[in-house]
A and B are shown apart, each in its own frame.
Chain A
Amino acid sequence: MNISMNELKASLRRCFEASSYFVGNYEDAANMILWLEKHGLNGLTELERLLPFINEDRDKPLSSVVYEDSTSAIIDSHGRSALNCIAASVDLAHAKALENGIATVTVHNCHNRMFILKALTDRGRCGISVAAYWQNGSQTVTEHAAAIKAGERYPSYSEAVTNLPANTDDKQALTIICSSRVDLTASLQQSKGNRNARYISAEQVAENKQHSVENGIEIDNDLWDEVNRIGTGVLVENTELSRQGAGGR
């Protein structure tokens, strides 16, 4: 079915709020998914993939800094979804870059890393350049790179299927490079063995957005129902007492 971006955002907010995401974070999570979908980068596919695990993060430890110096940090996200932890990592890279010109933050044990694109965009808009790189897949390894220039509104994104051997010790890692001095770009090299490579320029990302703004968003009925079903967790039962709090006669 066709829905508006605002409907998707509102339903996702309820969905994550009902799944124990905290204030501020459920808005972020909703915005991250919406951003990807709105810009033609399959946010709803990512959402579908994570929904079965949506409640798992509530019992996991919060991210912790395992190493830090003035220009770098390593953060362990303890298997959390990027939806509820990656923005803080990008912010840390941003702060270090402002102090030192360039900084690197590596995040370990983080799922759904594609959602970093929204966090990159927010930082780019605030006048700093950011690039991110990660690999994914336990059998076939894919690699991904995204970057935004300082002051821009849209990032570029590239991905490819590699012939790299699967890493049995996969740390679900992601590397963030941030600079207040250098405009970073990130496109995957034409490496031997890479296939199905695609590069989406910032201009294409902007064009994709125009389509969503004009026409709204297509969503699978079952997925829409499921998001809304989870979201009912924030609604309070309709009782006589409750009706009095609505102010009606």
Chain B
Amino acid sequence: MTTPAAIQNSLRGDNALPLRPPSQVMDLERLGALHQSRLSFMRTLVRRIMRERWQIEPARFELDAEGYGTVVYEIQAPHGLYSFVLFSDYLSPDERNDRVIATKWDLTMALVEGQVDDTYLEKLRQNVPKQEAGRVDARVFVLSRANRSARNFDYVVDQLAAGQQPDVDRIAKVGYLYRTTAVYGSGKLGMADWEKVRAKHKDFARPFAGEMFVCLMLRNFSLLQAEHIAAHKTPNTFKPMQPQIKRYFGIGNSTGLGMAPFLVNHPLLINQWIEMRELALARVRALGNVNSRVQQELSTLIERCAQHTRDTVTEDEWQTRNNVQVLEDLAALQSHTADGFDNWNSLLQWSEANNSLQGQEMLVSIMLEIYPELVDELEDYHDAEEFLDLDPLMPLQQLKQVIETRYDWALATDFTAEGARETCWYRSEEKMEPRLGSVADEEAKQKQMALGVGYAVSKCYEQLCSYVAEHPQHTTARFMVARPKMRGIVRRIQSMNRCVYGDIQANLLDQNILPMHLLRCKLAFFGVGKFDPRSKLWVRNTMFQGAPLLEDIGKPFSDDWFMPLAPLQSGQL
């Protein structure tokens, strides 16, 4: 088992492992090329559930023949008992809207501490279906909603009712019955703060573990509900879905711009995630033994990733081109390693010289997959204390040097160039939804969110240089008294300088900024697959495809659902 001291020792100093440099890793386009890995939060959650054999049983199951009603599951985990409460209501097709501004949904859900009695359930019933328009209390720590993928859902119900299995080829195109359109935690709408969850609910004390769990429960319910409706429709012909086909169903997700500001506003947390992923890679590079078994596993995983990519359906031209490129990269990688290879370092170097960013990062995910013994223990180190602390004693000459070293990318950006500050990010009065606009819109410009970190650093540097010329001996504290408007950015610069990776290296104000890279980065850490951009501002994807079912808990578990493939349909060879 590793320790914080061992991790620090591997990240810094004489005994540090060979980490990739921040200029390479924090490049936005590369972050947007990340894929799921065995450190993704869905994987780490499922590992925990399976290893600890959580007991998840329905405590209340009140669905009518149409699948509407109330369901409560009780979850007995090592550190506590929790309830997953779900309300299923009728929604007309014209009311079904995946945007954050919607007001009604097919399913609404809450994850609650302890058991839920009738009185509390009634309180939840009055509020959970309203989502943002309702209020809950600090017993609730995740709130979510989901809409049916109507065509798929009806098709699956009809098949099961007729005693048939769903066509796997069809599921490969849309691998879910429901799409979740928002998953809230961290104190929203009166819920428990993350500070409480982290301290009190140890079973969910990793970033987004509660949110991921609700999505996993939703996936389970979606399958159960489809079977329930089918069984009531034609009891005589109904047949349940085969488990291997069930496992191929995930949960759909729509993610929009709201995720992007999170990455900028939580730089220490994001740095921590990146540090752990890069440390895992460095461990494999330095310690990963290469033998014939590993070479065979690599070949198998390359083919699996290729098939998974071939199975990914998208109408988006940009994503299609990316997928084609990844397939070419994987074919080249397979061919390059066909006669064996000596070590991971040289293979990674070869990949950097011959593969696209997406292909390179696919290789990284594959490398992590092969060495659970080097990687998995890092899953416990994905949380971070998010204090952006000022170092008041830092001499200004040193502060200047820090900016020149750690933010060279910002200083190299010409913010006076046309389009360099064209984009502004702001919140709409409509549900405070984050939106992207142009500085030509005066109101949007005036009210833009402070996401232009690179620009703020360059402004700070200008002011710092002229101040240092006058007061070369002053400390940061003295500079802060004289230039208080710089306090926020100076604090950030100093804090991120204490990290290995630091800030994302991109000008988010540029007219050509692709927010998709930010969304993709966070979603890869969550562990989603099947990216299907619907515009440059929002993306559909699939969660938990291939994951074990609730009924698999307690059975042997191989933790092998990376880049899941379609099962063979009964009768196929």
Contacts and interface: CB of A to CB of B under 8 A. Distances in A.
A27 B450 CA distance: 12
Contact of B192 (A4, A22, A238): A4
B484 A246 contact: no
Residue among B392, B426, B444, B538 with max Cβ neighbours from chain A (10 Å): B392
Contacts of A87: 390, 487
B196 interface: yes
A216 interface: yes
A6 B450 contact: no
Most buried by B among A28, A88, A94, A238: A88
B170 interface: no
A3 interface: yes
A241 B538 CA distance: 17
Given A4-B190, A88-B477, A89-B481, A24 B491 contact: yes
Interface residues of B, number: 62
Nearest to A96: B477
B420 interface: no
Interface stretch (B241-249, B299-307, B407-415, B429-437): B429-437
Contact of A99 (B190, B393, B536): B393
The majority secondary structure among interface residues of chain A is helix
B195 interface: yes
Interface string B135-179: 101100000000000000000000000000000000000000000
B484 A245 contact: no
B199 A63 contact: no
A247 B484 contact: no
A215 interface: yes
Given A6-B188, A91-B390, A213-B195, A24 B432 contact: no
A4 B193 contact: yes
A69 interface: no
A235 B447 contact: yes
B537 A246 contact: yes
B40 interface: no
A236 B484 contact: no
B298 to A, nearest CB: 38
Nearest to B481: A88
A248 B138 contact: no
Contacts of B435: 236, 242-243, 245-246
A98 B488 CA distance: 22
A222 interface: no
B427 A125 contact: no
Given A88-B481, A91-B390, A247-B257, A5 B195 contact: yes
B489 interface: yes
Interface string A214-225: 111000000000
A122 interface: yes
Contacts of A182: none
B308 interface: no
B256 A22 contact: no
Contacts of B356: none
B317 to A, nearest CB: 17
Interface string A50-90: 00000000000011010000000001000000001101110
B387 interface: yes
A4 B372 CA distance: 38
B401 interface: no
Contacts of B477: 88, 91-92, 94-96
Nearest to B533: A247
B426 A236 contact: yes
A24 B426 CA distance: 17
A70 B66 CA distance: 78
B478 A92 contact: yes
Contact of A4 (B138, B433, B437): B138
A96 B480 CA distance: 14
B186 interface: yes
A236 B190 contact: no
A207 interface: no
A5 B187 CA distance: 7
B196 A23 contact: no
A200 B95 CA distance: 54
7 contacts: A62-B484, A87-B390, A95-B477, A233-B447, A235-B447, A236-B443, A242-B428
Interface of B: 99, 101, 135, 137-138, 186-196, 199-200, 256-257, 387, 389-390, 392-393, 426-430, 432-437, 441, 443-444, 447, 450, 456, 475-478, 480-482, 484-489, 491-492, 534-538
Given A88-B481, A246-B433, 18 more contacts: A2-B190, A4-B138, A6-B188, A7-B190, A24-B487, A24-B492, A62-B484, A84-B484, A87-B487, A89-B481, A214-B200, A215-B138, A216-B193, A242-B441, A243-B430, A246-B257, A247-B534, A249-B534
Interface of A: 1-7, 22-25, 27-28, 62-63, 65, 75, 84-85, 87-89, 91-92, 94-96, 98-99, 122, 125-126, 213-216, 232-238, 241-243, 245-249
